[in-house]
Amino acid sequence: MEDNQDKSEFEADEPLTSYLPPGFTGDYGAEEPAAPEPEDHGWVSWTALRVSMGRVPLWLLCALVPTVLAAILTLPWYGWFEGALDHSYAPGSQAASLDVNFRTDHAGELGVLRQSTGRLTAGLAFLMFLFGIFAAGGWLQVFLERTEGHSVNRFFYGGARYFWRFFRVFLAVMVLLGAGGFLIFGDLWNEHVLERLFDLKGGDLVNAPNELLARRLTWLQDGLFLVWFAAVLTWADFVRTRLAYLQSRAVSWAGLASLFTILFRPIATLRPMLALLFCELVVVLGLGKLSAWLNHGFGPDSGLDRVWTLFAIGIVVLLWRTIVRAARYHACVQVTRTIVEPLGVDDPWENTVGGPGGPRYPVGEEDFGITL
C-alpha cells in the first residue's frame, strides 16, 4: 500500500510522458491507462491543425484572455465617446468617420485620452506577453503527454512548469529582434547600403534619384526584417519544444542546438511552419477583405447588424490565429520527436548477467567469472 502511495505521489509530481520516447501511453500500472492522443503519419501541418482544433476548451481559453484585455482597453474610449456625442451632434453624423469639426473641437481631450490609454495599453500588452509565455508551456505539456482527459489541468500545469524557462527564451527573442532592427533600420544600413551601395548622399532616401528606387529600398528593408522576424519566432518555437521535450533548463544550449537543427534540416523543420503560415494567411486575408468591404460601406443608415458582423469577423480571426498558434507547437513536437533523440533513463542492469530474481553481475568483472 505504501508502494502504491509513493507511486501516485511520484506520478503527480513528475509525469514521465513528457520525455519518454514516442509510443509511451502513460501507463504506470493503473487499471485504466490513458489513451494516446490520436496522431497519424500524414502531413505534419494537417495533423497539427486537426489535433489543435480538437482541443476546443484550450483554444477558447487562449482566445478569451486577449478578448478580455481588449474589452478593458475599450471601456475608457466608450465612456468618453458616449459623453462627447450625447446631444452634441446629429444622430448618425459621426457614424462613418469623425469629421474635421469633431477632431478640432475635441483635439485636446482626444490627446489626453490617447496618452492615458497608451500607458494602459503598454501594461496590457506586457500581460499578454506573459500569458503567451504561459500558454506556450501549456500547449507543449498537453501535446508532449499525448493523453486524453483533464487537458485544462495539464495546460495550467505545463504553463507554470515551464514559465521561467520560456521567459528566458522570450528575453532572447527580444534581444535578437532588437539587434535585427538595429542592423536593418539603423545607421549601419544607411551608411553601408544606402550610401555606399546605392550612392545616396548621407544615406538618406530623400536623395534618391527617383521615387521608385526609394520605394523599392523601403520594401527591401521591410522584407528583410519580415524574414528575420519570422525566422526568430520559428527558432524560438523549436527552442521551447526542445526544452520541454528533453526536460532541460539550458536555454543557451537548446538555442544553439535548435539553430543547427534548422540549418541542417531546413525542409523537415520549416516546411510545416510555412504550410501553417499559408493556412493562416488565407483565412486572415480573406476575412480581412470582407471586413474592409463592410467597413467602407458603413454609413449613417447602417444598422447594428453590420457592427455585430464586423465584431464576429474579428472574433473568428482571433480564434483561427489561436488554433494555428497551437498547431505550430504541435508541428514542432512532431518534428522534434523525429529528429531529436530523447533522453532515456539509464538501464542499471545493462551488460549484466544473472538468473531471474537473483543477483546480477557486470560482464567482464571478477564476479562474472564466478557466475560462469
Convert the pLDDT of each residue in 83-98 to its tens digit: 777 666 666 656 666 6
* pLDDT tier at 35, thresholds 50, 70, 90: very low
pLDDT for residue 102? 73
Cβ-Cβ contacts under 8 Å for 329 (sequence gap 6 or more): 136, 139, 140, 143, 237, 240, 241
Please indicate, yes or no, if residue 355 is contained in any of the structural domains.
Answer: no
Is 207 inside a domain boundary?
yes
In a domain, 94, yes or no: no
Residue at 79 is within a domain: yes
Domain-located, residue 172: yes
Give bridge partners of residue 96 from the DSSP assignment.
none
Taking the C-alpha atoms of residue 284 and residue 316, their distance in angstroms, rounded to an integer, is: 9
Query: For residue 13, what pLDDT is reported?
Result: 39
If you average pLDDT over every residue of the chain, what do you get? 81
The tally of domains found in the chain comes to 1
The answer to whether residue 226 is domain-embedded is: yes
Cα distances (angstroms) measured from residue 162 to each of 138, 142, 209, 311, 333:
8, 12, 53, 34, 15
- Chain Cα centroid distance, residue 219: 26
Is 167 part of a structural domain of the chain? yes
pLDDT of residue 99: 63
Q: How distant is the alpha carbon of residue 146 from its chain centre?
A: 19
Nearest Cα neighbor of 311 from 331, 294, 286 is: 294
What band does 23 get if pLDDT is binned at 50, 70 and 90?
Answer: very low
DSSP 361: E
Residue 133 counted as domain residue: yes
Residue 150 domain boundaries: 40-86+105-340
What does the block give as the cell for 76? 475608457
Among left, alpha and beta (phi > 0; psi -120 to 50; other), residue 18 is alpha
Per-residue pLDDT for 231 more than 90? Answer: yes
